[in-house]
Amino acid sequence: MRKIQAAALFTAILAALFLAACTTTTTTTPTGEPTVGCKSCPACPTCPPPAVAPPAAVPFSRTLVAAAWSDLPGWVDDDHGAAWPAFMASCRGIAGKPHGAGWKRVCDLARAAEGKPGHDARRFFETQLKPYAIQAADGNASGLVTGYYEPLLRGSRTRTRGFEQPVRGVPDDLLTVDLSAIFPELKDKRVRGRLEGNKVVPYWSRGEIAARGDKLPARTLLYVDDAVELFFLQVQGSGRVRLTDGTMTRLNYADQNGYPYQSIGRVLVDRGELKLEEASMQGIQAWARANPGRLDELLNTNPSYVFFREVPNSKDGPVGALGVPLTAERSIAVDPRSVPLGAPVFLATTRPNSGRALNRLMLAQDTGSAIKGAVRADFFWGFGKEAGEQAGRMKQAGRMWLLLPPEAVPK
């Protein structure tokens, strides 16, 4: 049944794209990405379909400027050995990426060097890679650095008093179509929806999902004790849950309902209920504790909703978009249109709510719906309360240098 539904959705989307191509011209969005269209077409019934092209590697929508190691602030002071395990994890995950072939030589050398007497991580990076300053299309080399973490929640396998917030798996009627195989220019674009009769419609929003409750055709994985903590679990994308019997389980991102994320902190600022400097995770949590009767309405101003899958607990970090476990304070989430997943990135920023330098070699191992732009990073602080306090306060300016082997530099 899902194959039939997916085919119907795919056909409907293609038809809509063909119709749009007959009446639009090629334009540029505010982010500089071209939209789909053609400059002139006859009446739509005769508008020829576009040629089907094979999927293309994700282009890098940014400018790289060759740099020297001395240009990287604090490079010589970093503990490069602390970044080495994360780098080796990247070598495991990068092979299957479109740009992975350029890394084979470097990763083979890294595996051969690991654990050998005299191995010097900093010297390895300096001899095998070259640094490139990342700039946005407008030439700006400074961007936003935020933080995220893996939270700990309390939960129950059954709905009982005190544990009434459902953590839902992917619904049976959620359809996802990746259009890049047909339209490479729609790279990383996935359409989500559902069928209503023979009509394709958007999937339910957060408020609609809450209103449908158990009528939603989705398995409830477990129940947690706090609605705002569940909301932030969805923002973070993964977390651990301590169950009432004392055991620990882990939740990883599985899918999303197709709506863009809307900041509830921004909503509170716009309403005059929080000052801008108070709109951190901690500030929002404090507002929620003081306004429990208004919490649902606030949460529903963000229509995005994340579904999870349950995975066994382990001592490793959560698995990121690269497919390898994240390393606390050495992994970042990036926009893969600008920074190739798996690559080392030297990050120059400051500590949360501070002017103290935080200059560190990181690995681009994750992505996020709010991480958009060339000079943009989300710093993974790790697991638990202390990591959450750091992540919740982090909203810093930063610069980024991409480290690449010569054969992986885009032409």
Q: What is the pLDDT of residues 217-267, one digit of tens each?
A: 999 999 999 999 999 999 999 999 999 999 999 999 999 999 999 999 999
CA distance 24 to 38: 6
Task: Tell me the C-alpha to C-alpha distance, in Å, between residue 250 and each of 54, 150, 200, 314, 384.
Answer: 37, 10, 34, 8, 13
Helix 281-290 and helix 385-393, axial crossing angle in degrees, nearest 10: 100
Whether residue 45 has pLDDT greater than 80: no
Same structural domain, 75 and 134: yes
Residue 165 belongs to some domain of the structure: no
H helices of 45-117, where?
A: 80-94, 104-113
The pLDDT assigned to 10 comes to 45
Total count of domains within the chain: 2
Same structural domain, 30 and 71: no
Pairwise pLDDT comparison (304 vs 16), residue with the higher score: 304
* Helix, strand, or coil (residue 310): strand
Domain edge (last residue) among 196, 217, 238: 217
Write out the H or E segment, with its range, that includes residue 8. helix 2-21
Pairwise pLDDT comparison (5 vs 380), residue with the higher score: 380
The pLDDT assigned to 409 comes to 85
Domain edge (last residue) among 217, 248, 275: 217
Question: Nearest 5°: phi and psi at 16?
Answer: -65, -40
CA distance 324 to 252: 13
Whether residue 165 has pLDDT greater than 50: yes
Assign residue 369 the CATH number of its domain.
2.40.40.10
Q: For residue 186, name the pLDDT band (cuts at 50, 70, 90).
A: low
The pLDDT assigned to 188 comes to 60
The pLDDT assigned to 61 comes to 59
Question: How many other CB atoms sit within 10 Å of the CB of residue 310?
Answer: 16
Pairwise pLDDT comparison (180 vs 349), residue with the higher score: 349
The pLDDT assigned to 375 comes to 97
Whether residue 370 has pLDDT greater than 50: yes
Whether residue 38 has pLDDT greater than 50: no
Residue 277 belongs to some domain of the structure: no
The pLDDT assigned to 35 comes to 32
The predicted model gives 284-297 an average pLDDT of: 96
Residue 300 belongs to some domain of the structure: no
The pLDDT assigned to 137 comes to 87
pLDDT digits (tens, 9 = 90+) for 108-134: 999 999 888 989 999 999 999 999 999
Helix 281-290 and helix 227-236, axial crossing angle in degrees, nearest 10: 160
Same structural domain, 35 and 81: no
200 burial (CB, 10 Å; 0-12 / 13-18 / 19+) is buried
The pLDDT assigned to 54 comes to 38
The predicted model gives 161-181 an average pLDDT of: 91
- Mean pLDDT of all residues in the chain? 85
Q: Output the furthest CA–CA distance in the chain (Å, rounded).
A: 71
Same structural domain, 45 and 67: no
Q: For residue 16, name the pLDDT band (cuts at 50, 70, 90).
A: very low
The pLDDT assigned to 26 comes to 31
The predicted model gives 45-60 an average pLDDT of: 41
Same structural domain, 47 and 176: yes
Same structural domain, 87 and 112: yes
Q: For residue 98, name the pLDDT band (cuts at 50, 70, 90).
A: confident
Q: Give the sign of the dihedral formed by CA 41, CA 44, CA 48, CA 54.
A: positive
Same structural domain, 176 and 29: yes
Pairwise pLDDT comparison (247 vs 26), residue with the higher score: 247
Kindly list the strands in the beta sheet with 220-224, ordered across the sheet, starting from the edge strand earlier in the chain.
165-168, 220-224, 152-156, 238-243, 248-256, 306-311
Task: Find the domain containing 75 and state its range.
Answer: 63-148+320-408
Residue 131 belongs to some domain of the structure: yes
Q: Which two tokens stand for residue 374?
A: 């060339």
Whether residue 272 has pLDDT greater than 80: yes
Q: Which two tokens stand for residue 69?
A: 């190691």
Side chain identity at residue 367, one-letter code? T
Share of residues in the chain with pLDDT > 70 (%): 83
The predicted model gives 203-214 an average pLDDT of: 96
Question: Nearest 5°: phi and psi at 356?
Answer: -75, 135
Whether residue 210 has pLDDT greater than 90: yes
CA distance 26 to 225: 50
Whether residue 185 has pLDDT greater than 70: no
What pTM was estimated for this model as a whole? 0.78
The pLDDT assigned to 350 comes to 98
